[in-house]
């Protein structure tokens, strides 16, 4: 009897399929645990001890965040620096900070920011991605937004813009007034500041190319 080629052997394909399925399952389970471990939110103790977490705790709003080139990883990463004031205080405790972020998150959902913007890549492409909006040089002392809104801090300028966006047209497209209250605006700015501190592996890719975004003060 002529020897049958291995390629036309049913048993060979059955075994191959079983091995590949088994290997892929193990790999997926391992990756799931690895990812969960990496994206778990840090806490205040981490921040005080300078422990770097991919998703820092809510009290990161007490700290200055800059965007720096990481030569080894070949993209920018958020760097948490010294303490800085956020709406007049730099000692938001874990509960207060978490409550403020929660308010901001709820406001971002009820006002549907994602209808126009992307947050961490999710949403619409009508308006700029908000993942690193807090680090946008436009809001810094040297940028136009503080003068335009008549505010002397980044957070107050952003909160003012969010409450009255149609008063401050900066691009060809304008953001409409969404009826955002002063409290919601404060929460939203905290939400945006926290989001900018997340290490997103350099996403969005084009953000670091904005003049002044990297090594910004
Ligand atoms: C109907 C569409 C629309 C919705 C909904 C919307 N925006 Fe905007 N937003 C825009 C447009 C367009 C711009 C750019 C125009 C400008 O800067 O004047 C903008 C700009 C911004 C900026 C400035 C971006 C930067 O990098 O400096 C921030 C911050 C912002 N929006 C936050 C929000 C938040 C938070 C929400 C949800 C509460 C929201 N937007 C909902 C359309 C929208």
pLDDT of 174 > 60? The answer is yes
Q: Is the CB of 133 under 6 A from ligand 1?
A: yes
Average pLDDT of the residues in 155-178:
91
143-156 pLDDT, tens digit each: 999 999 999 999 99
The residue whose CA has the least distance to atom 33 of ligand 1 is 113
24-67 pLDDT, tens digit each: 999 999 999 999 999 999 999 999 999 999 999 999 999 999 99
pLDDT of 208 > 50? The answer is yes
Measured distance CA(98)–CA(52) in Å, rounded: 19
pLDDT of 206 > 90? The answer is no
Measured distance CA(59)–CA(184) in Å, rounded: 18
Question: Is 159 within 8 Å of 86 (Cβ atoms)?
Answer: no
At residue 169, the pLDDT reads 82
For strand 63-70 and strand 75-83, is the pairing parallel, antiparallel, or unpaired?
A: antiparallel
At residue 1, the pLDDT reads 62
Question: Is 90 within 8 Å of 155 (Cβ atoms)?
Answer: no
Measured distance CA(213)–CA(31) in Å, rounded: 32
Q: Exposed, middle or buried by CB within 10 Å (0-12, 13-18, 19+), for 15?
A: exposed
The residue whose CA has the least distance to atom 7 of ligand 1 is 175
The residue whose CA has the least distance to atom 39 of ligand 1 is 113
Which of 174, 175, 194, 216 to probe ligand 1 with, by most ligand atoms within 8 A of CB?
175
Q: What is the pTM of this model?
A: 0.90
At residue 209, the pLDDT reads 81
pLDDT band at 212 (very low <50, low <70, confident <90, very high): confident
Comparing C-alpha atoms, which of 121, 122, 162, 120 is closest to residue 139?
162
Which pairs from 166-171 meet CB under 8 Å and 24+ separation?
Answer: 170/138, 170/144, 170/145
Domains of the chain: 41-209 (1.10.760.10)
Measured distance CA(87)–CA(211) in Å, rounded: 26
How far apart are the CA of 175 and the centre of ligand 1, in A? 5
The residue whose CA has the least distance to atom 2 of ligand 1 is 116
At residue 217, the pLDDT reads 44
Backbone angles phi, psi at 67, to 5 degrees: -115, 120
């Amino acid at each position: 009897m002529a020897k049958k080629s291995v390629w036309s052997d049913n048993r060979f394909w059955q075994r191959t399929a079983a091995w590949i399925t088994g290997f892929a399952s193990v790999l997926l389970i391992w990756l799931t645990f690895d990812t969960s471990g990496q994206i778990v939110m840090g806490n205040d103790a981490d921040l005080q001890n300078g422990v770097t977490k991919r998703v820092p705790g809510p009290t990161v709003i007490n700290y200055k965040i800059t965007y720096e080139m990481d030569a080894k990883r070949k993209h920018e990463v958020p760097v948490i620096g010294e303490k800085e004031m956020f709406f007049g205080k730099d000692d938001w405790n874990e509960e207060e900070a978490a409550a403020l972020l929660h308010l901001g998150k709820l406001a971002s959902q009820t006002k549907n920011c994602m209808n126009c913007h992307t947050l961490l890549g999710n949403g619409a492409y009508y308006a700029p991605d908000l993942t690193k909006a807090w680090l946008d040089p436009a809001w810094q002392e040297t940028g136009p937004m503080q003068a335009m809104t008549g505010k002397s801090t980044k957070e107050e300028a952003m909160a003012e813009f969010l409450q009255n966006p149609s008063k401050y047209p900066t691009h060809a497209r304008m953001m409409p007034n969404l009826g955002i209250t002063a409290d919601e605006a404060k929460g939203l700015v905290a939400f945006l500041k926290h989001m900018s501190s997340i290490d997103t592996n350099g996403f969005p890719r084009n953000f670091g190319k904005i003049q002044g975004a990297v090594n910004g003060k």
